[in-house]
Structure formats: C-alpha cells, structure tokens
Chain A
Amino acid sequence: MSADLTRDRVAIVGVGSTGYSRGDTGRSAPSYAYEAAVAAIRDADLTQIDIDGVVSSTGSGYPNLVPPASIEVVAALGLPTVTYYSEGNPVIGGAMIDAINALLTGRCRNVLVYHYNYRGPYMSRRAASDPFRRWIRGYADDPPESAKNAAAYSFWASNYFARYDARREHLGYLAINSRTNAASNPLAAIREPLTMEEYLEARMIRDPLCMFDMDLPVDGADAFVLTLTERAADRPHTPVLVHTANQGAVGPNDEDQLPSLERHGHDVVVEQLWRDSERTLADVDVAFIYDGFTFIAMSWLEKLGWCGPGEAGSFIEQHWVDDQQRLMIDGRIPVNPSGGMLSEGGTQGAGSVREAVHQLRGDAGSRQVEQAETALLAIGGFFYNAQSIMLTRGPA
C-alpha cells in the first residue's frame, strides 16, 4: 500500500443540514439535498459562482438512494460553470474522497459534497402509504433465501455470538448510547431515551437483531463544502482538516462468502488509518463509530484497537457510564455524540461528519467536547463501504 498523499491538504469549510425526520414530510428527495447544499455553501460564505465541483453519494447503484444525481444539483442550484461532478461511493466517505481527489488534482476549487436519505415505500409503513414514493426501487422483492444486504449483519452477528462471550445486552448499550446522545441534538429523528428493558423486549426483525439494532429510516440531507487547506483561511469558520481519509474492501465480499470476521473491509481501512497518521487512539477527543447496525459498531471497536477480537462486549461494559446512560471511552471520549445512525437517523455517516465539524470548530452547543482537536470517524460495514476519516481542527 502507498501512503495518503492528501493528508491535511483539504479542509471542510462549510456544513449544512436539514435535520432528519420519520414523519409525513410531504417533501421530495431533491428538496432535502438542495436545502442542505444551500445551507453549506452559505455557511462557507460562498455563492453559485464559487462552487465548481459537485459530488453526490449515490454511487454503486445503491437501491435505497434516489436522485438527485450531481448533474441535477448543478442545474437546480444554478451553478454557472462546473468542472468536476461525480457520484461517490456510499457511505459518505467515498464521496469525500472523490472530492478530495478532485481538489488536489486541480480539477476544481470548491466542491459541494451532499448526502441525503429518503425512505422508500419498503422502509416503513408511513413511507409505504405515500403515493409519491411508489417509484423508488428497493430490494424488497429479492428472494428471501439470502444473506444479502441488510440481512448480512444478522447472519454474521450469529457467527460472532457463537464464537465469543457476547450478549444482546452489549448491543443494547450501543442503542441506548445513541438515544441518550440524540436527546441533545435538535436534528435527530428520535430524541426519547431508551432503556435496556425496552431494548431486550423489542420486536425481533431478523434474529439475532431487533428493531433497535438497525438504523432509522429517515428523510433528510447533509452537505459540505471542501476546499484546499491553503485557501481555507479565507472562509469565515475555523477550517476542519481532513487529516486522512480512506476506504477498503476485500474479495470475496459477497455477504455470505466473506472469508471470516478476521479480515474484512474494516481491517483494510484501519491498516491505512494507522499507517497514514501519527495520531493514535490516545489523541482521539470524539469518536464516531458507525452504528447503522449495532453489530457493525462492535466490530469497529475491535478493529480500531480499543480491544481485541471478541472483546467488544466487555469493553463496552467497562466504559459504560451508568449514571449518564452512555458510553465514554476511558471516561472522556463520547461515542456518536449526535445520536448516530440509530437515533439521529440513517445518514450513512453524513451526520457524523457534520457533528465532527461542529465539535472541531467548537460550535456544537450543549454537546461540545471541551477543546476537541481530533475526531475519528469509522464509517460503514464489512462488505462494500468500509471507510474512515480523521478530522482535525485547523488553524483559526
């Protein structure tokens, strides 16, 4: 493997979010993307003529992601001249990497990256009752005899539970942590607390995982403006540097053919992360551990090196702060302070990037981690979309 030549060279200078909702929103998918995009561009104190690159996170033909593609956003926002546009690999990190590459190869000066979620009719009863969502394709009609897509984490969790001393309660702590944190995030779709009793009694969806182990189907969008670090000082906010960013996969990666839990996309990502940065877990001030499924977060905790294989359950117990009902690694590092995929909403990591930017700028309000300088984002699952991003506070 080679080294990350993009280190610290690109900064996030604008963020915008619509917040997330499970309600009857009456809005189109594009309307969310446009709202978040305009907010991010304004946050960077830029305007139409300044944005000459656009990257969506709709790549790889994901069935749960719907238009607008980048070229539609160029039209909708009236960007007069765009010299780079593409659809990055979901989850959010793939799009960020695409934007970083475009900036550093000189293809454009300011890139808009956006991500949106929009519930398909197969994702919730409420979405199914909305006739304006009928056209959205999904994987609801696949043959059921399959470990594909979302079912994969139930399968691999069963393998993990059979091998290691892990219990459903360990997953439950992660679900509760996200709910506790979401309570102070006005953008989150669910802000009510969750108890262990509620978790353990919840409806099973695909054993061994229950409804609280799976991210929330939501409508909403986040957007970001990225520019070269050397130009970031011209923007109004403290720049947040992309210290390093990567993605990784192994072959075979078909869900039920993945060789084992010993080596998958998370491993490839973590190998790059610790090769490319001299920072360590001891430097991390705030952690974003992807909880699209609780079981994915268990894996990240082990792969990042906070604990060994099979030890995530006991690690979570050791670092659980009972009177706060949340996880605080070493008593100081909050995990998913904005509520994660489980409670803010299934943002595929976009919400984590936005919250990390606010934390590092120092404008995260009641959720602010004092003097936060380093945010570690471990995003995505085992098969197609493992990614990590380390963000750091740039010079004010």
Chain B
Amino acid sequence: MTQETTASNSSSEPAIWELYPDATIDQDNRAQYEGMLRRELCLNRCSSCTAWHQPPRSICPRCWSVDVRPTAVSGKGVVMMAAVLRQGKAALGVEYPYHLVTVELDEQPALRYTSAIAEDCIDQVQIGTRVTLDWVERGGAPHPVFRPDADKAPGSASDVG
C-alpha cells in the first residue's frame, strides 16, 4: 500500500526522519510525511468502504479492512477550531505567536486536519472560514498551511460543528 509513495524517498534525498525531526514517524504514517515532500496532503482512505480517517492507522476504524491507502485530499474545508500558541519550546522554523486551526475537510463529515494558518492571512481566518491548503517551507521541509479559499463554497459545507 505504500509503493506509490516510495519513489520520492530515493537515497539521494534526505530521509523523512531528517526533514521532519520532531514528528513521530512509523510505518503507518510515513506516507503522510512522504506525501508532504510532494506537497500533497495524504490521509488514509479505506479501499473497501471508502471511509477516510485521520491520523493514519493500519486498519479502517469503520469496517476493519486493512486495505487502507494514503490518498490525497483536496485540502478544502471549513475552520471549526482555532488556537494560538504563545509559549513552550518552539519547533525549528516556528515563531510565536503561532496560529493553528483544525479544518473540517470537504471529503467527509468530521474528517479533520490541524495545521497552521498561512502567515500573511492570519487576520482573515477564523472559525467558520472556508479555507484551502497551501504549502510553506519550515525547517527545510514542506509543511501544509491553510489560507482563505477564494472559490465558492460547495453546498455540502458543514458549519462550526
């Protein structure tokens, strides 16, 4: 299930462990980090029942199929929670205050991904804002961030939750 993601991990490039040194990477979530290197946000999707889940696990929590595949999401959704980190040991490339959001993705109700707001649009993103994915370099590796989505919202958009 990871064969499509191993191409970017050739020996001439730094390993995901070096590029994402503060992440706990194991066999079940490596594809998510390998996807980030390609600037794709890959969440696990069940090949049997088509349900998505996050964080990546080796089994589908809905139908127990183990045929779960890292699959790129659109990165579009609605902000349902937000927090501002102001204290603690800062990770490489992070400056406080650091604005984070949890986004309910369009792919499935209650499927969420948490990451930072793009620095140039912190004032434009709040709970309820439709956002889309973008990528920034942090510590020499691509990281997903969210920014307001200029496109029209789909009819299925959920609210604050």
Contacts and interface: CB of A to CB of B under 8 A. Distances in A.
- Most A Cβ at <10 Å: residue of B88, B94, B115, B160: B88
Contacts of A147: 81, 83, 100, 102, 114
Contact of B91 (A143, A159, A207): A143
B81 A207 contact: no
Interface string B97-136: 1101010000000111111100000000001100000000
A202 B14 CA distance: 43
A271 to B, nearest CB: 21
A45 B46 CA distance: 58
Contacts of A207: 83-84, 86, 97
Contacts, number: 93
B110 A257 contact: yes
A162 B128 contact: yes
Interface residues of B, number: 38
Contact of B116 (A145, A154, A156, A208): A145
Contacts of A151: 83, 85, 100
A141 B22 CA distance: 6
A16 to B, nearest CB: 34
Interface string A176-209: 0000000000000000000000000001111110
B143 A145 contact: yes
Interface stretch (A97-105, A248-256, A280-288): A248-256
Interface residues of A, number: 30
Secondary structure call for the A interface: loop
Contacts of B144: 145
A257 B94 CA distance: 24
Given A146-B100, A206-B86, A254-B55, 19 more contacts: A141-B89, A142-B22, A144-B91, A144-B94, A144-B100, A144-B116, A147-B114, A151-B83, A155-B102, A156-B81, A162-B128, A206-B85, A207-B86, A208-B83, A251-B61, A252-B61, A256-B81, A256-B113, A257-B55
12 contacts: A143-B20, A145-B100, A145-B143, A155-B83, A158-B127, A204-B86, A205-B86, A205-B87, A206-B86, A206-B87, A207-B86, A257-B110
